[in-house]
């Protein structure tokens, strides 16, 4: 039996002597690797202003602090996303307002989102679910309404629309480098801002609200603060790993595309399932996983299916266990009555299979054969 985990970081061993050097130097933050990592990301993603953060969640929270979100404000959010997307809004006192998603690719239904706009609405968060970019062409409506647009790119680094990478369509974007993501820094993230003035303020808020008065050298003993910022800085060891991952990124992306397309070719022969895909050639996803919806089945069947895969040594995951508005905290606090039917299908009838850079062609064949065996089992 094989052992195929859903996610497994593949880190180039050439980082080991570099990490030893960092440890021996004593300079564990604000070093050359942070600068290199940020500059490389900026160049690869073709983005104007970028900086590292501790994780994707802190990146989004940082922007909401900058925007001075408060109680009484509302931000539109897809019902299908990691709960962190909503928590970052909730932490400011503002209210996340949930919208169902499209079943074809899990992205927010922007036509439904339009109906949620009112005098309290300050912005909208778009999540490029599993690497599938949202309908970029419809974002102009929200901008005309005066709303800020945040891109949650946690699962979508390298995805693009019309050859423009995600993260460059909104006012702000946040990326995740958690271990099972396309690339990792152990834990960490990157944020993008389009506006230089906004970026400089965000940069200050990322480090306690520090600033240096004109005429004074930028020394540790010369700083002052004029905002209540926090500490969302990323350390040198993480940045060293991140730099290495970005160097390998073209290869990583190529492997993921190959694996997704192999999965697609094989699983197209199984009528009992539906899988997410992008048919519009303007959109070029950097696939995160292969999402399978079990047609006309329930949550128990799905959970048992995942367990049977696990028994065969195959790791699968669920993105995500519940639509956020069905999670106890949000359901009780906001007394949410809406159905969010597509989000429910994704949460209760689907799961994702691995296509990461640790997955070989032989692994895909093994997954396919075991999947077929399980789905054709007689009750």
Average pLDDT over residues 62-69: 98
Same domain, 198 and 259: no
- The answer as to whether 263 is a domain residue is yes
- H or E element, residue 277: none
Average pLDDT over residues 216-226: 75
CB 313 within 8 A of CB 367: no
Q: What is the mean pLDDT of the chain?
A: 96
- The structure tokens listed for 144 are 């005309």
With 90 as the cut, is the pLDDT of residue 379 above it?
A: no
Average pLDDT over residues 148-164: 98
Burial tier of 363 (Cβ tally within 10 Å: 0-12, 13-18, 19+): middle
Question: What span, in angstroms and rounded, lies between the C-alpha atoms of 299 and 197?
Answer: 48
**pLDDT score for 367:** 98
Number of domains in the chain: 2
With 90 as the cut, is the pLDDT of residue 221 above it?
A: no
Rounded to 5°, angle at Cα 158 from 152 and 164? 90
Average pLDDT over residues 107-112: 98
State the residue for tokens 């339009």.
114
With 70 as the cut, is the pLDDT of residue 215 above it?
A: no
Same domain, 206 and 268: no
- The answer as to whether 287 is a domain residue is yes
Average pLDDT over residues 341-367: 98
Q: Is the dihedral of CA 369, 370, 373, 375 positive or negative?
A: negative
The more confidently predicted of residues 37 and 213 is 37
- The answer as to whether 223 is a domain residue is yes
Q: Give the range of the structural domain holding residue 169, as residue numbers without chain letter.
A: 15-246
DSSP, res 361: H
Nearest to 106 by CA among 124, 129, 126: 129
Q: Looking at 189, 219, 246, which one is the last position of a domain? A: 246
- The answer as to whether 8 is a domain residue is no
Q: Looking at 204, 221, 246, which one is the last position of a domain? A: 246
Domain of 58, CATH number, reads 3.40.640.10
Alpha carbon 189 to its chain's center: 10
- Measured between alpha carbons, how far apart are the two ends of the chain, in Å? 24
Same domain, 76 and 130: yes
- The answer as to whether 188 is a domain residue is yes
Same domain, 53 and 181: yes
Question: What span, in angstroms and rounded, lies between the C-alpha atoms of 124 and 129?
Answer: 15
- The structure tokens listed for 279 are 């048919």
- The answer as to whether 6 is a domain residue is no
**pLDDT score for 273:** 97
**The pTM of the whole model exceeds 0.95:** yes
CB 139 within 8 A of CB 169: yes
Same domain, 221 and 253: no
- Neighbouring C-beta atoms of residue 69, cutoff 10 Å: 24
With 70 as the cut, is the pLDDT of residue 222 above it?
A: yes
**pLDDT score for 220:** 65
Same domain, 279 and 239: no
Q: Looking at 218, 246, 274, which one is the last position of a domain? A: 246
Same domain, 159 and 274: no
Nearest to 157 by CA among 285, 71, 312: 285
Average pLDDT over residues 210-219: 72
Same domain, 258 and 225: no
Same domain, 189 and 274: no
Widest CA span in the chain: 78
Average pLDDT over residues 208-212: 84
Q: Is the dihedral of CA 128, 318, 41, 190 positive or negative?
A: positive
Same domain, 36 and 181: yes
- The answer as to whether 10 is a domain residue is no
State the residue for tokens 């990691």.
82
Same domain, 238 and 255: no
- The structure tokens listed for 184 are 């990792």
Residues 6+ apart with CB under 8 A from 271: none
CB 201 within 8 A of CB 66: yes
With 90 as the cut, is the pLDDT of residue 223 above it?
A: no
Domain of 348, CATH number, reads 3.90.1150.10
Same domain, 98 and 211: yes
- The answer as to whether 4 is a domain residue is no
**pLDDT score for 361:** 98
């Amino acid at each position: 039996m094989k052992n195929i985990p859903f996610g497994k970081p593949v880190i180039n061993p050439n980082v080991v002597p570099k990490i030893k050097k960092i440890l021996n130097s004593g300079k564990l933050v604000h070093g050359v690797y942070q600068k290199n990592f940020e500059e490389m990301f900026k160049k690869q993603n073709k983005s104007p202003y970028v900086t590292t953060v501790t994780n994707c969640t802190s990146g989004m929270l940082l922007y909401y602090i900058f925007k001075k979100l408060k109680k009484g404000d509302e931000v539109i959010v897809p019902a299908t996303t990691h709960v962190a997307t909503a928590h970052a809004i909730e932490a400011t006192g503002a209210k996340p307002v949930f919208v169902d998603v499209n079943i074809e690719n899990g992205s927010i239904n922007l036509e439904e989102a339009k109906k949620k706009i009112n005098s309290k609405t300050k912005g909208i968060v778009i999540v490029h679910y599993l690497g599938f970019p949202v309908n970029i062409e419809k974002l102009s409506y929200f901008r005309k309404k005066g709303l800020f647009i945040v891109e949650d790119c946690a699962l979508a680094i390298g995805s693009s629309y019309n050859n423009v990478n995600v993260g460059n369509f909104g006012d702000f974007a946040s990326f995740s480098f958690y271990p099972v993501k396309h690339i990792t820094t152990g834990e960490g993230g990157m944020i993008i801002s389009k506006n230089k003035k906004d970026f400089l303020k965000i940069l200050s808020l990322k480090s306690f609200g520090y600033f240096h008065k004109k005429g004074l050298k930028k020394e540790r003993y010369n700083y002052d603060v004029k905002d209540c910022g926090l500490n969302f800085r990323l350390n040198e060891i993480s940045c060293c790993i991140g730099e290495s991952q970005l160097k390998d990124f073209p290869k990583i992306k190529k492997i993921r595309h190959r694996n997704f397309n192999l999965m697609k070719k094989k699983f197209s022969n199984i009528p009992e399932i539906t899988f997410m895909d992008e048919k519009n050639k303007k959109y070029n996803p950097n696939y995160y996983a292969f999402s399978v919806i079990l047609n006309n089945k329930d949550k128990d069947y799905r959970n048992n299916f995942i367990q049977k895969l696990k028994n065969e040594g195959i790791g699968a995951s669920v993105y995500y266990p519940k639509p956020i508005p069905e999670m106890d905290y949000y359901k009780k606090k906001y007394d949410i009555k809406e159905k969010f039917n597509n989000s429910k299908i994704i949460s209760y009838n689907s799961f994702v299979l691995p296509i990461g850079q640790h997955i070989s062609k032989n692994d895909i064949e093994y997954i396919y054969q075991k999947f077929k065996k399980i789905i054709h089992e007689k009750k």
